[in-house]
Structure 1
Amino acid sequence: MTAAQAMAAATARLRAAGVPDPARDARLLLAHAAQVDAARVTLIAPEDIAPEIAERYEALISLRAVRVPVSHLIGERAFYGRRFKVSSDVLDPRPETETLIEVALAEPFASVLDIGTGSGCILVTLLAERMTAVGIGTDLSEAACLQASANAVLHNVETRSDVIQSDWFGAVRGTFDLIVSNPPYLAADEMDDVAPELRDHEPRMALTDEADGLTAYRVLAAMGPAHLAAGGRLICEIGWTQAADVVAIFSKAGWQQVICLPDMGGRDRVICARRPQTTA
């Protein structure tokens, strides 16, 4: 069997399993099995596939057919032009979250706090883009903290970052120019409707608050001001239907200039707010 024939068979199998974009995944997984760049798959397509590659490819396709995410199978995911190591211990970096990065980079900052850092993709990206900034990431999950720390080393920002295990702001000391967060925002009753890749293979605590999906924003609005410098910003990702509720939470808590910004698809995605003028 040639590589092209193997890809065709894998694509059909993934399509039958309901996998979105099966041809793309078949291609990426063949590249991983053959240990070549995905852009070079067309070069090996006419060639017979080696038995050991065929065996690895079969195993990968079998796992993808039961909706294990591609990122977990290859161990990494692209985000804002960089590759981040990921696993089932952290939420996959997603293109929508790049909107948060763009908003954060629109103004200068010297220090950043990332609440619920997960893979560390937000914290690490911001520090990599602002080469004099320093930052802290927090996560309740010890495994996530280890993953974020590894990604900080991978992208050479480990000397300017610290990752600590913390329940929200519990272990955080000091103030920052910028607070960022991509918190769990799915309501408990939404979990049955999400894709199997998320529901079955990503950490549930990173997806839902097991309540109405707004718990994180109440915590950020209440506790954020004590950790923001004067004039500082808080930027967080939201679910695309949550804009009105989250704006109301921050406005009621006294935050200034509370605005919602859309992602590249035009959906409400990011809330940006200024520190209240007075804090408790």
Structure 2
Amino acid sequence: MADRLPDTLGLLLRAARERLAAAGVADPALDARLIVEHFSGTTRTQAITDPERKADTSAIAAVDAALKRRGSGEPVHRILGYREFYGLRLSLSPETLEPRPDTETLVEALLPFAEAIAAREGECRILDLGTGTGAIALALLSAVPAAMATGVDMSEGALATAARNAAQLGLAARFTALRSDWFENVSGRYHVIAANPPYIRSEDIGNLQDEVRDFDPRLALDGGADGLSPYRIIAAEAARFLETEGKIAVEIGHAQHNEVSAIFAAAGYVSAGAFRDLGGNDRVIVFEGAKP
């Protein structure tokens, strides 16, 4: 049985850190701080300036339950129920992939183009395939006030989460959640088509980190036998929905640059740029239609 947690903020933080360290959590200090701050309603500043501050019984019970979940391997942001992405706080649900900093590379890759289109046309229409939490679409909407986005997903739970995030961020008027298997129910044309598709080979799912394999939805991970199935669908079907000078941006696995480029080249697209994440890995390719 775990030791009872202390009720003063400074000691509570220390006890939480020690419990997570004993459980083998990779960054016990950070996760302990996130959990204690969230469930006690306190800030880092308060922990430093007022370590004797008392946490109430219900907060201590919530911290205790959260530490047990984290110690058993559940990701800290799943426990908190949200994750920061591109400066936005996004709610998570079991049906959504947890958005990660690497995907901010895709937002950065598209942003100059989206801003230029909005300035020239007065609007920029964005299609976010496999929207999940709405991370990519909402990040672009937050940065480009004239943009409109449609977030597509097969999961009703994911779409409800994306719509809730749009509302919480004040972006609901410019965001539409659409249930569709890729382009099946999509209509209209878009200046930007963005996707962070599933790109893990089916046979490799079992080898992923426990926190990914056990808590991210398989639907958002499994890219088929070779991990490239979604790219084939996007390359084959996007042309009907892409404006003449539009761009397609896809996130890729770090070793998929050549294969994904070949798939789009065979469908008549040319690369308009490749981008690496903060770790120096190939992460995003932007495509446009071949010039006549």
Alpha-carbon RMSD: 1.7
Q: Distance in 1 between matches of 2:25 and 2:94?
A: 19
Question: What amino acid does structure 2 have at the position aligned with 1:20?
Answer: A
Query: Does residue 154 of structure 1 match 2:168?
Result: yes
Deviations 1:72-92 (A, max 9, x none): 221211111111111222011
The equivalent position to 1:221 in structure 2, one of 235, 246, 251, is 235
- Could you tell me which runs of 5 or more consecutive residues in structure 1 were left unpaired when the two chains were aligned: none
Deviations 1:38-68 (A, max 9, x none): 4433334344543332211110100111122
Q: Report the equivalent of 1:252.
A: 266
Query: Does residue 43 of structure 1 match 2:57?
Result: no
The Cα shift of 1:264 comes to 1.7
TM alignment of 1:41-80, pairs within 5 A:
41-80=47-86
Structure 1 residues 192 and 45, CA, compared in 2 at 3 Å: closer, same or farther? farther
Question: What amino acid does structure 1 have at the position aligned with 2:21?
Answer: R
Query: Does residue 115 of structure 1 match 2:121?
Result: no
Structure 1 residues 111 and 29, CA, compared in 2 at 3 Å: closer, same or farther? same
Q: Distance in 2 between matches of 1:266 and 1:106?
A: 21
Q: Report the equivalent of 1:130.
A: 144
The equivalent position to 1:31 in structure 2, one of 28, 37, 43, is 37
Q: Distance in 1 between matches of 2:51 and 2:34?
A: 13
Question: What amino acid does structure 1 have at the position aligned with 2:254?
Answer: W
Q: Report the equivalent of 2:109.
A: 103
Q: Distance in 2 between matches of 1:191 and 1:44?
A: 45
Q: Report the equivalent of 1:200.
A: 214
Identical counterparts, % of pairs: 37
Q: Report the equivalent of 1:271.
A: 285
Question: What amino acid does structure 1 have at the position aligned with 2:67?
Answer: I
Q: Report the equivalent of 1:83.
A: 89
Deviations 1:212-257 (A, max 9, x none): 2111111111111111010110001111111111111111221023
Deviates more, 1:45-54 or 1:187-196: 45-54
The Cα shift of 1:27 comes to 0.6
Question: What amino acid does structure 1 have at the position aligned with 2:167?
Answer: V
The Cα shift of 1:210 comes to 4.0
Q: Distance in 2 between matches of 1:4 and 1:212?
A: 50
2:214 match: secondary structure: helix
Deviations 1:164-219 (A, max 9, x none): 10000000001100000111111122222222221111211111124221111111
Question: What amino acid does structure 2 have at the position aligned with 1:58?
Answer: D
2:149 match: secondary structure: strand
CA contact (8 A) 1:228 1:275 kept: no
Structure 1 residues 265 and 259, CA, compared in 2 at 3 Å: closer, same or farther? same
Query: Does residue 167 of structure 1 match 2:181?
Result: yes
CA contact (8 A) 2:261 2:271 kept: no
Deviates more, 1:47-56 or 1:104-113: 47-56
Deviates more, 1:128-137 or 1:254-263: 254-263
The Cα shift of 1:113 comes to 0.3
Task: Give the total of aligned pairs.
Answer: 278
Q: Distance in 2 between matches of 1:74 and 1:41?
A: 19
Q: Distance in 1 between matches of 2:47 and 2:191?
A: 45
> TM-score w.r.t. structure 2 length?
0.90
- Could you tell me which runs of 5 or more consecutive residues in structure 2 were left unpaired when the two chains were aligned: 1-5, 118-123
Q: Report the equivalent of 2:203.
A: 189
CA contact (8 A) 2:201 2:223 kept: yes
